[in-house]
Structures are given as C-alpha cells and as structure tokens.
Amino acid sequence: MKKIFLFIILAALFVQAFAKIPKKAGNVRNSVASILVYKNGELLRSGIGVLVNVDGEMLSSYSLFVDADSAVAIDTRGVVRPVIKILGADETYDCIRLSIQPDKKLKPVEYSSRPATNGNILYMVGYGVKKSGAVEEAKVEKTDTISGSHHYYTLRLPLQEKYISAPLVDAEGQLVALLQSIEADDTLHSYALAANYAKSLTIRATNYNSERFSRIGIRKALPVTEEEALSCLLLQSFSSDSSAYKAMLDEYVVQFPESHQGHLYLAEYNAIRIKKYDAAEAGWEKALALAANKGDVLYHKANTIYAHKLYADTVASATFPIDSALACVNRALEVENLPIYTRLKGNILYTKRDYAGAFDCYSALTSTNLCDAELYAIAANCKELLGDPDAAILHLDSAIATFGQVPIAAMAPYVLNRGLVKNRAGRYREAVLDYNAYAKLLGNRMNANFYYLREQAEYSGKMYRLALADIDVALALEPDNITFLIEKGRICYRVNMIDEALPVLAKAMAVAPENPDAYYLMARCQMLKGDNAAAKENLQKAVKYGHPTAAETLKNIK
C-alpha cells in the first residue's frame, strides 16, 4: 500500500514539473538546430542556432563561426542543411544572422512583439533530436538597454556553455532573447540579448569588408538596397578572387533582376577575366534591354573595349575591334551629349591616330567640368602630332594656367612637357628656360638624366658653358655612365678643350670597349693634337665596331 501511495506522489510531482512548461514553448524545439562549423574539412566547434524565417534565416553566436569556411545546421529530425551565407554579425554582442538552405519543412519561431520585464518567466529551449532538447525556466531579474532601444537581460538560470545562443521564448512560444556567453563567477545567473537586436543585423557597404566578416570564410550576403549592393560590387571588382566576385555577381543579378548594372559587370567579367566574348556581348545586350538610360550601357561597353585594349587582343579583336568602341560611344552621344562620352570618343580617336578628330573632341571639352590640365596637355599632343608645335605650346600654356598664378609642384610635369615640345621644335633656349623652371618647382632635386636632358638643349642652343656644367653634374651622379662620358667628350671637342676631352674619352673606352663613338671622338681629338698614328688606330676600331662615318675619315688621314 505504501508503494502505491509513493508512486502516486511521484507521478503527481512529475506531472506538476512538466506542467510548468507551456506546450507552445516546448514546440520551439522544432526551431532549434545544432550547428557544426568546419575549416578545411575539419570540425572546428559546434553550437546552437534558432530558425526564425521560412526562407532559412537563423540566429546564432558570432564566435561560433570565427575562422570557419563552411558550416551545416542539423534539425531535430536529423536533416542536415548547409549554411549558405552570412546576413549580418556583431562581435561585441556575439550574435550572427545567417541563411541555411531553405525547404518547406522548416519550422521557424516567431519573434515576440513585447520585450520581457523584470519578474517575467522565459523558457530556454535547447537542441535535442526528436524533440528531446531541454526546456528550462528562467526568471528575468534585471533589464538593461543597449544600442538605444534593445534589451539585455539578467536571468535566474545557471549558465551552461552548451546552451550559448539558445532561444529564450515566452509562454506563447515567441522568441524574446538569445542566451549569451559571458565571463563571470556568478553560477546562478545567465545573460541574454534581445532577439530583435540580432534580427536588426545587416550587411552594409560600409562594413562589407570589415574585420568582423573577414574573420569568417563563409560567403557574405549583399546589402539589401541596390545602391549599397552596387557599391560592394564595385569594390569586389578590384579583387583578384574571381570565384568570389563571380558568386557576388550571380547573387546581385538574382537579388535585383530588373537592374541593368549586374549585367554590365557580368559582361565586363566575361570579357576581361575569363575571355568569353560571346557571353560578354550577350550581357551588354541584356543590360541595354533593361536600362532606362541606354547611353550609360553603351558608354560602359565602349570604355571596357578601350580601357582594357580588347581591340588589341588577337582573339578579342574579332568581336571587339576599336571601331566597335567608337560606334558605341557615338550611339551614347546620340542618346545624351555628356562630356564624359566626348572624352572617351577623343581617346578612341587618338588611339586610331585620328589626331584631328581627337583634338576636336578635347577642344569641345574646354568649356565643361572635365576641363583640366591633362585635357589641355593631350590636346597639345594632338597639335604637335599634326605638325603644329606653336599651337601645342599654347595649349600647354593653358594647362599650366589652370594651376593659377602661384607656382606649385603639380604644374611641373606640364612645364617639362612644354620644354620638350620647344626642344623638338628647335626652340632650344626657350626649352632650357622651361627645364630650369621645372627643376625649381621640384626644389632642384633632380637626377642625372635630367641634367643630361637639359645639357642636350643647351648644346643645341650653343650654350656650351651651361652644357658643360650640366654634363659634369650628371657625371658626378653617375661617373661610369657611357652616354654621359661620350657627351662630355663631344662638348669638349666642340669647344676645342682637347686636353679635357682626352681623359674622359679614355675612360669611356675603358668602360665600354666596343663603343664606336668613344674611339671615333678620341681619334678626332688625336688628329687635332697631331697624333695621326694613334688616331688611325682608333678610327680602325671605330670602323670595326660600326661607326657610320669613321671609314670615310680614315681615308682622309695621312
């Protein structure tokens, strides 16, 4: 009789214990999954995640995924689903949003619309196969606020590491919070982060490449807005990781099916990275069909062909000759006469060596917002190539004038360019003045080649004293430079400084024993000194090493 009485009491206690767990809270077991994370095929660690969306969205612990390159979620029925991508993360509060492979059998938990308050009872739901996961009561003892409006709870529940990121639900089985990991000596309490905080985590263009995501090798989702997704796409286009970039492109096209931008990037990817030219052409046609602004697509196609020199590639040129780029930019200009289109047209015409047409394009831009020093400089180059150096110099004057009246280092390249044009036009003394101005703009910190360049203009302008000074500086910087040695010998010979020329030319012969100019100049100096025997010997060596006039000089020597 006593045994029967004891059994009744125990049964009553058993029923009473389980009666404390509301049925709806217990049903949340169907929404909890075990998560296994891997790196290079090796298991790193395991944890818990809770399914919150029929599309496969889950919440879990950020620290669980650090260093992982793949992961799977296992539901209570033992079904294994791969983790597809990361949707958002926060390392500070150790939470992450992720997406698993969806199917119709997923049973997500609903978010609670009301935060818990002090004294409320929540239910921690653990993972277990066939609904065997533990469900434990947790009383809210303290409520704090984080990030403005989200709640952080202190619970009367001993912390167990295996339940980190387990869901905490109310009696209606609605998700209120996620259990947190925290270092503390308190063995009576646990801490929980409001689930709506984890729900708010997103990927933005500003954090897409942040360390929080780079520490996880699983693919990131694109931002939800097209503008931000496009920014990420642009940044990723500079990456050398083609497979990751291609995955992002494919995702963008699926996520924004009405956007032409994804097809533009896909076309460029096919043309530049994997050289599938028919696919690239199809991509541009698709983008053209979708785009409201047809000119933008035509411009980008023309720019891709031009900028990546597809027209110069033997295989690509059959599909994308330079004239196809010109045709595209002309069509773009018909849609809208934008300066950027005209600039590209000028560049294409310049590549085709149509310098007159290119100049007309550049000249038309001088009254637009694209007018800058570089524009005047390339227009000047067109004029010089058309045989009009005076016009070229005037355009370089305009390039320099864009910097204002106060000399600054940024104008130095254009001053140098003007000096080079003047030098090629035979205006040597004017060229020297520009070379001097260039050196002054750069604080006279010049290399040996500059002094040689200026010496050439000075020599041609019969400024021999200055030429000799500059070649001496060049030689001081590079004493064994054969070009500089011979040049000094030439200047000394020209101004009848024979005694100064002889040792320089002797060194040139020692530095470059097969240089014909060294032997020829030495011979000419020796002839002036009356040493015809030595001169004849050096002329013979000059002939041997290919000097063009040494043989004729040798005939005239006695």
pLDDT by residue for the chain (558 residues), tens digit each?
A: 444 444 444 444 344 344 478 999 999 999 999 999 999 999 999 999 999 999 999 999 999 999 999 999 999 989 999 999 999 999 999 999 999 988 888 889 999 999 999 999 999 999 988 878 899 999 999 999 987 789 999 999 888 888 999 999 999 999 999 999 766 677 788 899 999 999 999 999 989 889 999 999 999 999 999 999 999 988 888 888 888 889 899 999 999 999 999 999 999 999 999 999 999 999 999 999 999 999 999 999 999 999 999 999 999 999 999 999 999 999 999 999 999 999 999 999 999 999 999 999 999 999 999 999 999 999 999 999 999 999 999 999 999 999 998 999 999 999 999 999 999 999 999 999 999 999 999 999 899 999 999 999 999 999 999 999 999 999 999 999 999 999 999 999 999 999 999 999 999 999 999 999 999 999 999 999 999 999 999 999 999 999 999 999 998 887
Q: What is the pLDDT of residue 19?
A: 46
Return the DSSP state at 125: E
CA 482 from centre of chain: 43
Residue 300 is classified by DSSP as H
Ramachandran region, residue 515 (left: φ > 0; alpha: ψ -120 to 50; beta: rest): beta
Dihedral pair phi/psi, residue 519, rounded to 5°: -70, -40
Whether the predicted model's global pTM rises above the 0.85 cut: no
Provide the 10 A C-beta neighbour count for residue 519. 26
C-alpha triplet 166, 168, 170: angle, nearest 5° = 155
Tell me phi and psi for residue 252, to 5 degrees. Answer: -60, -45
For residue 405, give every residue at least 6 positions away whose Cβ sits within 8 Å of its Cβ, in sequence order, or none. Answer: none
Partnered with residue 71 across adjacent β-strands are 37
Buried b (16+ CB within 10 A) or exposed e, 237-259: eeeeeeeebbebbebbbeebeeb
State which amino acid sits at residue 132: S
Contact yes or no for 516/550 (Cβ under 8 A): yes
Q: Are 421 and 438 in contact (CB under 8 A)?
A: no
Hey, what long-range contacts does 364-372 have (CB within 8 A, 24 or more apart)? 365/339, 366/398, 368/339, 369/339, 370/339, 370/340, 370/343, 371/402, 372/402
CA distances (Å), origin 178, targets 71, 155, 189: 20, 11, 14
pLDDT of residue 235: 86
- Cα–Cα distance, 530 to 535 (Å, whole number): 9
Residues 221/203, Cβ–Cβ less than 8 Å: yes
SS3 of 449, please?
Answer: helix
What pLDDT, on a 0 to 100 scale, did the predictor assign at position 165?
92
Residue written as tokens 């809270």? 25
Asked if 292 and 321 count as a contact pair (C-beta separation under 8 A), the reply is no
> How many other CB atoms are there within 10 angstroms of residue 476's CB atom?
11
Cα separation, 557 vs 531, whole angstroms = 11
Among 347, 421, 345, 409, smallest CA distance to 378 is for 347
- Crossing angle (nearest 10°) for helices 482-494 and 498-511: 160
Q: Which residues contact 455 (CB under 8 A, 6 or more apart)?
A: 466, 467, 470, 471, 474, 487, 491
Q: What is the DSSP letter of 42?
A: E
Count Cα atoms within 13 angstroms, Cβ side, for 219. 19
Q: Where are the alpha helices (DSSP H) in 204-293?
A: 211-214, 226-236, 242-255, 261-268, 277-290
Tell me what pLDDT residue 183 has.
64
| Length in residues, the chain | 558
Measured distance CA(520)–CA(536) in Å, rounded? 10
The amino acid occupying position 277 is Y
CB 493 within 8 A of CB 525: yes
Q: Are 165 and 48 in contact (CB under 8 A)?
A: yes
Element (H, E) at 202: none
Q: Across the strands, what pairs with 140?
A: 155
| CA–CA gap between residue 351 and residue 383 (Å, rounded) | 15
